[in-house]
Structure 1
Amino acid sequence: MANSYVPTIELNDGHHIPQLGFGVFLVDPEQTERIVSDALEAGYRHIDTAAIYGNEEGVGRAIAKSGIPRDELFVTTKLWNDAQGTQSAFDAIDSSLEKLGLDNVDLYLIHWPTPERDLYAETWRALEQIKADGKARSIGVSNFLKSHLERIMAESDTVPAVDQIELHPALQSRELTSFARSVGTQIEAWGPLGQGKYPLFEEQSVVSAAEAHGKSPAQVVIRWHLQHGNIVFPKSNRAERMAENFDVLDFTLTESEMAGIDALERDGRVGTHPNEFN
């Protein structure tokens, strides 16, 4: 894979995922092609989108125009809540692939469990078929708690390759991440910088590490994720910030610096709790 200096993580199905990627949550569909093109130019090869973002077409156009071989890219999209079920999941992946202009995605996720609808286990079995059909190389989930993971594993033959959850220094979900990793599910972090709600960049442990390594506070937090083994995809609309977020592979935080950032845990959830999003 190009940019082999970006570390990869082996998933439980044998495929490898670049640990550092680029997310397009809340990216204006009209601007997506330009922004993803800038990200690819900066060196990113892992792009994370979703049906609900409304920008899969822009992602697809940027990929098509990039000239980058398909096997050097890792593309994720997600099934939205209104498409949970069996046939609706089959229709949803076909729609996403058409918009992306791809024959398959590298990773397909159930976006939320929406437990009150009680369709996520059935939907997971549909994703098993989607993988068997070659439309997704790997399958996983997003915003699933331990109870949700336990149920789909009990009712299927497949352990999710990843669980994409809100994760940042103020919300580390240690029990969930420990359980997921114990069964072979890798952790992806959305909102990795705290989405601005928590002043992480003003915390002394982050500021001190940034000064020690000649990096920005954002780069330090991204590096913290990488050293914890999280798959992370910060987003930005500005090319210079994309490049800065990508420039995190040439330094290593010390054990004490990592511990100082670990100490910022405060159960600081920014998004909706997965049991309450229906």
Structure 2
Amino acid sequence: ELVAETVAYLRANGFDSIEATPTAEAGWMQHVDDAGSITMFPQANSWYVGANIPGKPRVFMPYAAGVDFYAAACADVVEQGYLGFRLTGPAGSRCHDGVVRRLQPDVQMVLEMVAAMNPPALESLPVEAARAVMVETNAARPPGPDVGEIVDGGFPGATGELEYRLYRPASPGPHPVVVYFHGGGWVLGDAASDDPLCRDLCVRSDALVVSMNYRHAPEHPFPAAADDGVAAVQWVADNAAALGGIPGRLAVAGWSAGGNIAAGVCQWARDHGGPHI
């Protein structure tokens, strides 16, 4: 149907040639690879990846995201004036260059499911309701990888005790230390809310990861979270050996709002003579 409709469109509009652009071709190959990579197909040494021909580059060619995703991509190409194609003929030349699919298929599927549910925007919810949504969402996500040990504890924040969660690798210590700050727009989350990510970071880096809580807005406006971030890094640096870390081997990390806190802590430490990051 797509081919027939495209030929009819070319004839009706004075074109006799249609060719994918290099940008669109490279983008589509990446999309096909992304779609295959979330399946088990590329893990087999089969003709699907060219393994039956010695020396042939390994490229996964089948489209594993399904007919519905493929049909949607075709429709998007047409609706956007044949996105990623150059049309030429007696009427001249026309090209709307670009990448047809930028999202990985599993991410796209989740976004479409959320759109179909039509939930209220998170930022429109009262604070407690938004926090409850985050708790429910976190409860339904896949767990991260196993680590050697997880320890929950408390540390002295800028104005009072706050919680931390420590992730220890399974390998013999001591280990370098990563002080981690969770995301959540300075309003949501706690020391355990980024648990799968912290587990993954611990396993991949073979480092001790200490996820630190901080005070949240709107109850505690700026600079409460930043002050707690500084207190957290100072406390971890002072207690690195007792936590199982290597003193002086300290990194900071964070996601979203936590990334902001991590960046601010680094600048604070630079300007105040430490701790050394």
Same fold at TM > 0.5:
no
Q: Return the structure number with greater relative CO, CA threshold 8 A, min gap 6.
A: 1
Structure with max Cα Rg: 2
Give TM-score scaled by structure 1 length: 0.23
Give TM-score scaled by structure 2 length: 0.23
